[in-house]
A = this chain, B = another copy of it.
């Protein structure tokens, strides 16, 4: 951020009075421009013991598999965002059942929320951001070709809960470790 979105003047970075963090402050009108994390919301859609995955047609991670998910928009609920993203990426008309995972990813200022969902009608195909959309048995999940660690973590917990016969809500954080190779320390509340 270089310029004020209100008045067009240059912004400076400093700690406002009564605050304790550096912010972008307009040198002209004085407006403080806060920056906050974004929510990425999507669905784990199950049918006939299979899970719906999308092969990404866009960067990052073009060609890798993910769950249908994307940035929550203004003027919608998290449930509507999850259903909308599934419609857009997998052309699938679904209904959310319940929240399944909510993970903070502080290194990229995102909170990921994935909902379990059912098809309203059994129909899906690749939207503009997907190359392919497919239902996978647990044994066929392309574990080495999953786009994001938070998706791998969520899928593992899904199949683990399904085997136990009881889905719970998993809330926590995935903290990127500084050592190479890239890995994450996953902390969750209330895990049995």
Q: Which of A's residues lie within 8 Å of B, judged by CB?
A: 1-8, 10-11, 18, 21, 33-39, 71-80, 96-99, 102, 104, 106-107, 109, 111, 128, 169, 171-173, 175, 189-190
Contact = CB atoms under 8 A, between A and B. Distances in A.
Contact of A33 (B5, B73, B80): B5
A118 to B, nearest CB: 12
Given A1-B5, A3-B7, A36 B71 contact: yes
B75 A109 contact: yes
Contacts of A128: 18
A99 B21 contact: no
B5 A73 contact: no
30 contacts: A2-B5, A2-B6, A3-B5, A3-B8, A5-B11, A35-B74, A36-B38, A36-B39, A36-B72, A36-B73, A37-B39, A37-B72, A37-B73, A37-B76, A39-B111, A72-B111, A74-B109, A75-B107, A76-B106, A77-B173, A78-B102, A78-B104, A78-B111, A78-B173, A79-B172, A80-B106, A97-B190, A98-B189, A99-B169, A169-B171
